[in-house]
Amino acid sequence: MHGAGDLSRRLSRWIDYGQCGMLQSILWTFSFCILESDITQKMQQAMVDQIKTSALDHKGDAANPEVKYFRPRYVRSLDGIRGVLILMVVQDHLDLLRHSVGFIGVNCFFVLSGFLITWLLVSEWNDSGTIKLKDFYYRRALRLFPALFVMLALFAPYTCLVSPPRTVARDFHYILWALFYFTNWGQVLGCGDIANHLAHTWSLSIEEQFYLLWAPMLLLLLHRTESKTSLLWWTVLAALCSVLIRAYCTFFGEAGFYGFWRVSRGLDARADSLLIGCAAGIIVTAQLLPRRRWLEWALYLAAAISIGGLIWVSWHEIYDSWMYYVGWFLASLFTAIIILHLVYSPRGMLHRIFEASPLVYVGIISYGLYIWHFPIFNIIHERYPNHWQFTAVAAALAATLLSYYLVERPCLRLKKKFSRIGQSVKQAETPVLIPADG
């Protein structure tokens, strides 16, 4: 029995230091059967933990066995990307560049949003074998709803004071749409004025509708698929279906309902951007790409080309029909490649660009800036049609900072009690959307 005890202790040390994978679990189970009388309670627990981890991490995955999946962590350059994207959107509403630049910014926000949330949810699955949907929705509500609610609560008395009764009734319809994340379908159905003060909340509506469906669907897929590779292909297939819906609406749909507003505002027609981001999150979390020097260089080159591709797509007219089913899809792919490069490669020129402090700070406050800038820009433009931009930007920044420090940050502290995998996920819970969250 002395030799058996030595064997058990060696197996235990291998488990503690993580030096073997599924084979380790099999050997440990075999030794447990023949040496049960010598195994301590601690070693039994180690066996259970190791088998559970192996089942979660290696359930048929084609991941690189030399590295573990990436846990969610703060990537400073991703906040810099947020900063660039919100500036693309804001300039659009200031009428500085082409409208398509801001619209592609929305696309990129969708991709980043899908990536970060999926990174978080799949990591929670890897840690615990499940996803607590209630906690996920609590975190989303605490992050997204307070700033939106305050903006709507201030807009309601404003419209009552300055607008005629008929306009007030119409504006309260828009408030309800924004409050219940229905703005995008209101625009699809042609209800009301497309250019109202709350029209920008269409993208927030798409994002929240998507996550209402994606989190339980992801949990189901994680239970039913044989591997993370299979999960990835199902996600890619869903993204391609969304592109096909846009193509169908473009070529075979009737005028009106199947026009620009249908393909740009419908959840089913815009889900590909979010799903491409989700696919990138699965790739990172499951380590489906090996950590090799050549791959870092390849991603760097692909990211550089993708930046050029985004500029090229942004400079095309947004109402060209090919943009509906090709341009927006390409913009999503380009964005996913840039994100993968920034997450996989800890250094490089793009990191230095996107980690610039001004861009990072703008990215941190980007959600509030998106919420507040559009109604403020419209109101000031109505009152002062000449040289309104400087005043509008100053007012929007003031509202954004007040919102961030007085509303958003206190709610972020409440959000921690619903976090399952530590404080490193703070970025993944920041709404990337904005539209534009975003």
- pLDDT per position as a tens digit, 135-147: 999 999 999 999 9
CA distances from 267 to 177, 214, 318, 329 (A): 15, 12, 18, 15
Whether residue 69 lies inside any domain: the answer is no
158 phi, psi to nearest 5 deg? -60, -50
Confidence of residue 70 (pLDDT cuts 50, 70, 90): low
Q: Is the pLDDT of residue 343 over 50?
A: yes
Convert the pLDDT of each residue in 202-258 to its tens digit.
Answer: 999 999 999 999 999 999 999 999 888 999 999 999 999 999 999 888 887 654 455
Residue 26 sits in which domain range? 2-57
Whether residue 357 lies inside any domain: the answer is yes
Residue 133: per-residue pLDDT: 93
Residue 169 is given by DSSP the state H
Residue 68: count of CB within 10 angstroms of its CB: 13
Q: 291-305 burial, b for 16+ CB within 10 Å, e for fewer?
A: eeeeebeebbebbbe
Confidence of residue 18 (pLDDT cuts 50, 70, 90): very low
In this structure, the answer to whether residues 19 and 111 fall within a common structural domain is no
Rounded Cα gap, residues 45 and 48, in angstroms = 5
Rounded Cα gap, residues 417 and 248, in angstroms = 45
List alpha helices for 384-428, DSSP H: 389-403, 409-415
Residue 56: per-residue pLDDT: 37
Rounded Cα gap, residues 53 and 279, in angstroms = 22
Residue 359: per-residue pLDDT: 95
Q: Is the pLDDT of residue 59 over 90?
A: no
pTM here is 0.79
In this structure, the answer to whether residues 189 and 41 fall within a common structural domain is no
Whether residue 371 lies inside any domain: the answer is yes
In this structure, the answer to whether residues 149 and 39 fall within a common structural domain is no
Q: Which residue has the tokens 């609406």?
A: 249
In this structure, the answer to whether residues 263 and 298 fall within a common structural domain is yes
In this structure, the answer to whether residues 174 and 254 fall within a common structural domain is yes
In this structure, the answer to whether residues 266 and 347 fall within a common structural domain is yes
Average pLDDT over residues 390-404: 96
Whether residue 64 lies inside any domain: the answer is no
From 98, 134, 428, select the one nearest 285 (Cα to Cα): 428
- Tell me, what amino acid is at 418? F
Confidence of residue 419 (pLDDT cuts 50, 70, 90): low
Whether residue 62 lies inside any domain: the answer is no
In this structure, the answer to whether residues 16 and 85 fall within a common structural domain is no
Rounded Cα gap, residues 391 and 323, in angstroms = 34
8 Å CB contact between 198 and 372 = no
CA distances from 344 to 114, 304, 308, 320 (A): 17, 15, 20, 35
Q: Is 420 helix (H, G, I), strand (E, B) or coil?
A: coil
Task: Say how many domains are in the chain.
Answer: 2
Whether residue 435 lies inside any domain: the answer is no
- Tell me, what amino acid is at 328? W
Average pLDDT over residues 187-213: 91
Find the distance separating the first CA and the last CA of the chain, reported in whole Å.
62
In this structure, the answer to whether residues 15 and 146 fall within a common structural domain is no
Residue 420: per-residue pLDDT: 55
- Tell me, what amino acid is at 406? L
List alpha helices for 189-266, DSSP H: 202-224, 228-251, 260-265
Residue 320: per-residue pLDDT: 81
In this structure, the answer to whether residues 46 and 150 fall within a common structural domain is no
Q: Which residue has the tokens 């099999």?
A: 26
In this structure, the answer to whether residues 139 and 273 fall within a common structural domain is yes
Rounded Cα gap, residues 285 and 107, in angstroms = 22
Residues 6+ apart with CB under 8 A from 46: 12, 15, 16
In this structure, the answer to whether residues 10 and 88 fall within a common structural domain is no
In this structure, the answer to whether residues 387 and 252 fall within a common structural domain is yes
Residue 252: per-residue pLDDT: 77
Residue 97: per-residue pLDDT: 79
Residue 44: per-residue pLDDT: 38
Rounded Cα gap, residues 250 and 321, in angstroms = 7
Residues 6+ apart with CB under 8 A from 134: none
Whether residue 323 lies inside any domain: the answer is yes
Whether residue 65 lies inside any domain: the answer is no
CA angle 325, 335, 366 (to 5 degrees): 110
Rounded Cα gap, residues 377 and 369, in angstroms = 11
122 phi, psi to nearest 5 deg? -65, -35
